[in-house]
Amino acid sequence: VKKSLEKAQSKGFSQEFYLIEKWLYMYNECLKNFVLDPTIAETDLEPSSQKIRTATKKLCGRFNLVCKAKGEKDQKYLRVSKTKSTQIPNNYPDVVRDVMQEISDTKIGKNEKRKEKLERQLEEFDEGDIPGDWLEHAGLGLKKKTKYKPKIVGENAVAIDENSVGYKLLLKSGWKPGLGLGAESGGSKDIIQVKIRGQRTGLGID
């Protein structure tokens, strides 16, 4: 949690963020020429990554253009079509900067929400409690501050039947009803009970 919190506190962006900006500047010029050409109703952009396509869709929205993803896997690209309201935006020289600012604000907003969530979880861990959503992620489906109770096999089991083969074998081995198991009758007198761990939980969970 602490490592995740350190990452969430960072305001820096990866190299991919700057790569998106370069692609947008290139597409900005292409879209301008596309809008100014009355002979073309639609055009295909180059194949790109999912993040670049998402940013390009935002840019196309500034031109009132419609985008649809085409292709498969690494060859996915955007097909851009004109509408009746398609036009060059008034802030054309700054449109890429505005789109990148929107992407940045969205990323910082998500970053801040994740930071707040991690801080709350860290406080709960410091108090010795396991956050409820962590238990749910582990497959337990338990609510917050609910103690884990493992299933116990044999808890309500009945005694072995006197007519069963196992009962008769015990008698032949020298065992007597009411005594413990073993040569000196010092073993367990109770039915064996086995604790079953919950789904996707670790060994030693309380």
Q: What amino acid is encoded at 28 in this protein?
A: N
Which secondary structure element, helix H or strand E, spans residue 69, and what is its range?
A: strand 66-70
The predicted-structure confidence for 171-200, as pLDDT tens digits, reads as follows 888 888 777 877 777 777 777 766 665 556
Share of the chain above pLDDT 90, in %: 32
Q: What amino acid is encoded at 63 in this protein?
A: F
Q: What pLDDT score was predicted for residue 103?
A: 85
How far is CA 35 from its chain centroid? 40
Phi then psi for residue 164, to 5 deg, are: -80, 160
Q: What pLDDT score was predicted for residue 105?
A: 83
- 44-48, 101-105, 131-135, 161-165, range with the lowest pLDDT: 131-135
The predicted-structure confidence for 20-69, as pLDDT tens digits, reads as follows 888 999 999 999 999 999 999 999 999 988 889 999 999 999 999 999 99
Distance between CA atoms of 169 and 152, rounded to whole angstroms?
Answer: 27
